[in-house]
Structure 1
Amino acid sequence: MRPDLIALRTQIRAIETEGRPALSCLPTGADMLDVALGGGLALGGVTEVVPAAFMDEPASLHFAFACMAKAL
């Protein structure tokens, strides 16, 4: 992801979460993804993993299962 988009998302996240308690996160281990997500996948919330195309579905399922395994 482009650094300017990461910076913009960080600014937006700071505005949106102002005054709310921070949720703990589960780091994915992918540094750029964790930065884009504000530290990782939010615990206590819902994360939707959607493939860009039908052929990408196995990769998205693998990612979701890897995240679940890491959480256990």
Structure 2
Amino acid sequence: SLGDSPKESGSLLGTRSEITEKKTGGLAVRLSEVAEVCGTQVELNQLTKELVNVKVKSKFVKWREPLL
């Protein structure tokens, strides 16, 4: 069965860790994109993908034309 040997268990844990890291990194990148659209400047640590610096822009940036 799954996880009976240490080798199988370690491989499974390694795979889960890699998946979690990829998902977390992708989420951090998407968060920075959303923050930019909302008028917030966000810096990410490129190694850990953690937020380093968050600043709210003082001026709203118009990003699309109004619907008529």
Q: Name whichever structure is richer in strand by fraction.
A: 2
The verdict on a shared fold, with TM-score over 0.5 as the criterion, is no
TM-score by length of 1: 0.25
Rg larger for: 2
Higher relative contact order (CA 8 A, sep 6+): 1
Q: Name whichever structure is richer in helix by fraction.
A: 1
